[in-house]
Amino acid sequence: MSAGAPPLSGPPKPQAKGLNCPKCGAAITLHSFGQAVTVVCGSCHSILDAKDPNLAILQQFEAAIREVKPLIPLGTRGKLRGTDYEVIGFQRRSTVVEGITYYWHEYVLFNPYKGIRYLSEYNGHWNDISICKTLPTTEFGGAAIANYLGETYKHFQSADANTDFVLGEFPWQVRVGEQAAVTDYVHPPRVLSSEKLDKEVTWSIGEYMYGREIWEAFKLPGDPPEATGVYENQPSPVTINVTGIWLAFAAFTVFLLALMAGFDMRAKKEPVLHQTYQYNRADSKGESSFVTDVFELTGHPSTVEVKTFAPLSNHWMYLNYALINQDTGQAWDFGREVSYYSGYDSDGSWTEGKQNDAVVIPSVPAGHYYLRVEPEADPSLPNISYTVDVTHDVPVFGIYGIAFLALLVPVVIISFRAYTFERSRWSESDHPPMELSSFSTSSGDDE
Amino acid sequence: MTQPVANCPNCGAKIVFRWSSSVQTVCEFCKSILVRTDVDLKKVGQVADLPPDSSPIQINSEGKYGNKAFVVVGRILYEYDQGGWNEWHVMMNDGTSAWLSDAQSEYALSLASKAPNLPAAAQVHVGQQFTWSNQRYTVSVITPAHYRGMEGELPFQYWDKTDVTFVDLRTESRKFATLDYSDPEPALYLGEFVEFDDLKLKNLRSFEGW
Amino acid sequence: MFRKFYLLYGFLTLGTAAFGQYHGWSLDTVNQLKNVPKSVRDNPGSYRSVYSGYHHYTGGK
């Protein structure tokens, strides 16, 4: 035997076979080199025996529904998972759930070396499907689940699937009108499906694909149909582990608290000025402004807190402050009001305002400073003594508040999006989530 | 290892055995089934033309299983009520004999194994479990089949068989097993499903348009 | 993917908070002026502020 030459006793060289339909004479070409079991005559809707050289007629069906055109025409070749496949068969299937009929389509793909794969399409959602070689195991009790190749799949739906329309070649004895019991288990982006037809159970594993991936793979013109709703195994666009993100948030919060504590301990909170002044209405005719003693701020630039206290009672007081650096002439100018009112009315006693005020001046460098103060008060207030306290290097807790919100908001948004996506997914299943605002006695969960 | 050469007793053509312990082969030219005795070759039957089939593997295809290379030296083609499949006899580079099955482009490689207390065909039913080599196998399908043709070299005598029963057993992994009731004694084959790409097959048949 | 983003974002947020705290950031709005003359110390009335002439009254309920 010379190596490389095909043996003489081998079978004939495989080629696509051209035959004629025994019913209507239309030309029929078989593209699967003997792997097809049935082939459909597209002209007269007869299902023929692909293994019979005479193409015996197995079934005649009425295309009662108007001709369904496959989105991927038979004969198109496309590359999936690095292998070229040719579309050789197509079928439309349907199921009835609570009186509503749902349709979907399946495509039979063929490669002479790799065999047969399937594509399914429903409402713009696609799946790349192949028959399982290893058997999944199922568990019942509570929620039904299936295990396959180390992954756990949750029961999504059980329904009867009818075959309504067929075209092309099939590797099984397809018949229009046949009904299979189909059960889907999901672990997005995969779906595990068991199909029971005439006591034989076949398991298949599918992986979600987007319409544009299919269009690219098969180089189809135009745009794929838009995907509506959330499909059973559609991967969540929010592909995160929600618990993990909340844990990260918790860790960050702990960090934040540590930062707060650390900076709080580090802050000098050094009082540099504590003085009580007297305001007299009589003096305001002249110049009411004055300057405080000079005080020194040391170290790196940090906050300066100016607190004002006045024991007011139903009066207001306004102080125009300026913190002035004696040497550089740099100044921070600000005005603060202190007011306090109280009284009685039909609801009881009330108060408004506060007798003290605090403001924090940011990033004040070291140096010699004084305050220029210009007080003003309610005309009905003759005099009041007020206290000004200046403290150097105080922590600003508002910053931590903002940081906390900044950490919290994205986590809340993402959790909400993940939640609504999953609700949408499971609302189509046999186990829809409970209505949040429902007051009915029935729960959303079926058995 | 030297490759024994002989002449076909029917038509005189040169017959080469690639595997020294091959027991049976088919003469390419006159399609006689030849069985090797200590002394010479004996014709025991005639093989019919093989039907057209879809397997991309052919005699002399080469491939790899794990880290061993193999060559395809023979085949048995089986048929059952739903179709057919091929059992390719392959010779590993360490001299052992294995079987590469091709059923609608689903590939599996298995080796003949010995195990005690193999059940008789009548005693087997779907769902029954066995444990071999520390692995649990569950009977999945029982298929009555018959052989439809053969070519090349086989490690045993195989001809004129009527319906035989094959029992498929599966596991939760890629491992599987087959009980072959071609002979009065049940034969056990243990193997696993393999991906086409992993076999790294060369010298395959060409398909028109592919 | 999001997790990586969030971790980065979280560290940036904490970093910014620490940076701000260290450099003395504050949430209050204050006007900055330059070149206030030294003479203001002797004559505080000569300082002209943004807020001068502010009259504010908050009455009762």
- Give A247-267 pLDDT, tens digit per residue: 999 999 999 999 999 999 988
**Three-class DSSP category at A397:** helix
List % helix, strand, coil for chain B (3-state, nearest 5): 5, 50, 45
**How far apart (Å, rounded) are the C-alpha atoms in residues B190 and B174?**
11
Pick among C26, C33, C54 to test the A interface (most A CBs inside 10 A): C26
Q: Give me the pLDDT at residue B4, please.
A: 66
Question: CB within 8 A of A411, min separation 6: which ones?
Answer: A245, A246, A248, A249, C6
- pLDDT above 60: residue A4: no
Q: What percentage of residues in chain A have a pLDDT greater than 90?
A: 55
Which residue is closest to A349 within chain C, CA to CA?
C61
A34, B52: Cβ pair inside 8 Å?
yes
Mean pLDDT of chain A: 87
Question: CB within 8 A of A437, min separation 6: which ones?
Answer: none
Q: Taking residues C24-31, report their average pLDDT.
A: 86
| Torsion angle of the four alpha carbons B46, B50, B56, B59, in this order, in degrees rounded to the nearest 10 | 20
Q: Which helix (H) or strand (E) holds A97?
A: strand A83-97
Comparing A184-188, A366-370, B79-83, C23-27, the range with the smallest average pLDDT is B79-83
Whole-complex ipTM: 0.81
- pLDDT above 60: residue A446: no
Nearest alpha-carbon partner for A181 in A156, A201, A160, A205: A160
Comparing A350-354, A373-377, B45-49, B75-79, the range with the smallest average pLDDT is B45-49
Q: Give me the pLDDT at residue A12, please.
A: 61
Closest approach of B2 to chain A, Cα-based (Å): 15
- Give A283-295 pLDDT, tens digit per residue: 756 778 889 999 9
- pLDDT above 50: residue A439: no
Report whether A340 contacts A288 (CB < 8 A). no
The beta strands (E) that lie in C1-61 are given as: 31-33
Q: Give me the pLDDT at residue A66, please.
A: 65
- pLDDT above 80: residue A345: yes
Q: What is the mean pLDDT of each run of 10 residues along chain B (210 residues)?
A: 73 82 84 82 82 85 92 90 87 90 89 88 87 88 86 83 85 87 88 91 88
Q: What percentage of residues in chain A have a pLDDT greater than 70?
A: 90
- Give A71-121 pLDDT, tens digit per residue: 999 999 999 989 999 999 999 999 998 889 999 999 999 999 888 999 999
C14, A324: Cβ pair inside 8 Å?
no
Q: Across the interface, which of B138, B193, B205 has its CB nearest the CB of A133?
A: B193
- pLDDT above 70: residue A240: no
Its pTM surpasses 0.90: no
258-277 of A, contacting B, C-beta below 8 A: none
Q: Across the interface, which of A6, A12, A114 has its CB nearest the CB of B52?
A: A12
Q: Do chains B and C touch (3 or more CB pairs under 8 A)?
A: no
Closest approach of A216 to chain B, Cα-based (Å): 20
Chain A residues touching residue B204 (CB < 8 angstroms): 113
B170, A51: Cβ pair inside 8 Å?
no
- Give A11-46 pLDDT, tens digit per residue: 666 666 678 888 888 888 888 888 888 999 888 888
A13, B54: Cβ pair inside 8 Å?
no
Q: How many CB pairs under 8 A join A and B?
A: 102
- pLDDT above 80: residue A430: yes
- pLDDT above 60: residue A142: yes
- pLDDT above 70: residue A225: yes
Closest approach of A181 to chain C, Cα-based (Å): 39
| Confidence category of residue C39, pLDDT binned at 50, 70, 90 | confident
Q: Give me the pLDDT at residue A5, please.
A: 41
**Three-class DSSP category at B124:** coil
- pLDDT above 80: residue A440: no
Within 10 angstroms of residue A389's Cβ, the number of other Cβ atoms is 17
**How far apart (Å, rounded) are the C-alpha atoms in residues B137 and A187?**
26
**How far apart (Å, rounded) are the C-alpha atoms in residues A444 and A122?**
24
| Confidence category of residue A362, pLDDT binned at 50, 70, 90 | very high
| Confidence category of residue A59, pLDDT binned at 50, 70, 90 | confident
Report whether B58 contacts A5 (CB < 8 A). no
Chain A interface includes B138 (CB < 8 A): yes
Q: Give me the pLDDT at residue A133, please.
A: 79
**How far apart (Å, rounded) are the C-alpha atoms in residues A411 and B145?**
61
